Amino acid sequence: MKICRTVEETRAAVAALRTAGQRIGFVPTMGALHAGHMSLVSLAKTASEATVASIFVNPTQFGQAADLQSYPRDEARDLAMLQEAGVEIVFLPEVTTIYPPGHETIVETTHLANILHGKIRPGHFRGVTSVVTRLFNIVQPDVAVFGEKDYQQLQVIKRMVADLHMPVEILGGPICREADGLAMSSRNLRLTAEDRAAAVVLSQALQAAEDLAKTGTTVEAIRDVIANTIATEPRATLQGLDTVTADTLDNLHGPLTTPLAVMLSVQFSDILLIDQKVIQP
Ligand code: AMP
């Protein structure tokens, strides 16, 4: 596995693989890797012949400096996991490599970035699209994989790639879950034992919604079953519940006739957990 820290090294390493006729798959991450990230690496490996992963904690997508400072970092462990998974190249840039001195160019999806989660975290998706554009320009992958867990992020990136004619195929990777159904996240480790046990309520609420949809239902009834399930857990506070079209993320109402993306965020003490499910009519 080749470890690259500069644009030039990365371009040269990717070019060598490309000359050998290999299709390049790319998995961007912020490190603190877990099985969810590794499932994206597996997906990239099935969709390409050589895999590049990046580890970069992107400052422009954090609202508060404290969150950026406290973001977990363990480079040695991350590299061991990527090596074990058979990744060919890891790109580990410094902030000034990605954002050169005097940089002033941003990339933004004007609507999708500023609804739902984007309303709560102003500037977050602009930071994501600005960094992903730079990473794509450096790595120049044929295919890139993003998790469906960050559902709005995936739709924002698909929109950006279509709008800017970026020559990369975007794949969404299914959410990787713990045995009890909790979506894997580096934040799970910060939960107390009691909150960790209670956090199963997110996936239970989404499952209850899917079960209800099998019998034919309305968006309002789905919202009720989710809110009521979360309310059964005293440690959980419902922070966000969005029920939207699967691609354009417009709010849906009334009888369920098209695929419905349910985006859920629930607070446990000071930790916000997210989960989502696309429910078929
Ligand atoms: P992050 O390092 O948090 O920026 O995440 C890197 C990528 O991993 C993103 O595309 C996430 O959506 C994805 N990801 C995070 N958690 C999971 C999970 N539990 N299952 C699948 N993908 C995930």
Percentage of the chain modeled with pLDDT above 90: 96
Tell me how long the chain is. 281
Instruction: Give the pLDDT band of residue 66 (cuts 50, 70, 90).
Output: confident
Flag whether 28 is in a domain: yes
Distance 194 CA to ligand 1 centre (A): 24
The two three-digit tokens of residue 151, written as one number? 């559902």
- The DSSP bridge pattern shows strands 24-29 and 260-268 to be unpaired
For residue 64, what pLDDT is reported? Answer: 87
Q: Looking at 148, 173, 198, which one is the last position of a domain?
A: 173
Q: Which atom of ligand 1 is nearest to the CA of 30?
A: 2
Q: Do residue 153 and residue 239 come from a single domain?
A: no
What is the domain count for the chain? 2
For 172-223, what is each residue's pLDDT tens digit? 999 999 999 999 999 999 999 999 999 999 999 999 999 999 989 999 999 9
CA of 150 to the centre of ligand 1 (A): 7
- Asked if residue 157 is part of any domain, the answer here is yes
The pLDDT tens digits of the residues spanning 121-143 come to 999 999 999 999 999 999 999 99
Last residue of a domain, one of 141, 173, 205: 173
Query: 183 alpha carbon to ligand 1 midpoint, in Å?
Result: 10
Whether residues 41 and 129 fall in one domain: yes
| Ligand 1 atom closest to Cα of residue 153 | 12
Mutation to probe ligand 1, out of 149, 185, 189 (largest number of atoms < 8 A from CB): 149
The pair of structure tokens assigned to 188 is 């799970």
Please check whether residue 130 lies inside any domain of the structure. Answer: yes
User: Pick the catalytic residue: 37, 111, 124, 165?
Assistant: 37
Q: What is the mean pLDDT of residues 100-127?
A: 97
Reference 266, options 183, 153, 208, 193; nearest CA is: 183
Q: Does any ligand 1 atom lie closer than 6 A to the CB of residue 184?
A: yes
Within 8 A by CB and 6+ apart from 104, the residues are none
| 51 DSSP β-pair partners | 25
**What pLDDT shows up at residue 67?**
87
Average pLDDT across the chain, whole number? 97
**pLDDT for the residue 65:** 86
DSSP secondary structure, 120-177, as one string: HSTTHHHHHHHHHHHHHHHH--SEEEEETTSHHHHHHHHHHHHHTT-S-EEEEEPPPB
Same domain, 156 and 244: no
Ligand 1 centroid, distance to 28 Cα (angstroms) = 9
Cβ atoms < 10 Å from Cβ of 195: 19
Domain of residue 146, residue span: 2-173
Q: What's 31's domain CATH number?
A: 3.40.50.620
Dist CA 258 CA 168 (whole Å): 28
Give yes or no: 37 in active site: yes
Residue 87 lies in a domain: yes
pLDDT at res. 97: 98
Confirm or reject: Cβ of 149 under 6 Å from ligand 1: yes
Q: Which residue has the tokens 């059964």?
A: 232
